[in-house]
Amino acid sequence: PEVFNFKPQSGREVIDRMYEMGFEHSICAFGVVKGEFVEFSLDNK
């Protein structure tokens, strides 16, 4: 997984931001720790 150092208001905001950044694959959130970092897996199935 790649790590993005966002400080999101919510997991939904992170996903919305990733789409804004140009991610078009399905996104699977692995976890949010204290709102400081989020690990995502880009599911290419």
pLDDT, position 2: 62
- In eight-state DSSP terms, residue 36 is T
pLDDT, position 38: 53
23 by Cβ neighbours in 10 Å (0-12 / 13-18 / 19+) ranks as: middle
38 neighbors 3 (Cβ within 8 angstroms): yes
pLDDT, position 41: 53
11-45 tens-digit pLDDT: 677 777 766 766 655 555 444 444 445 555 555 44
pLDDT, position 20: 74
Could you tell me the two tokens for 19?
A: 């789409």
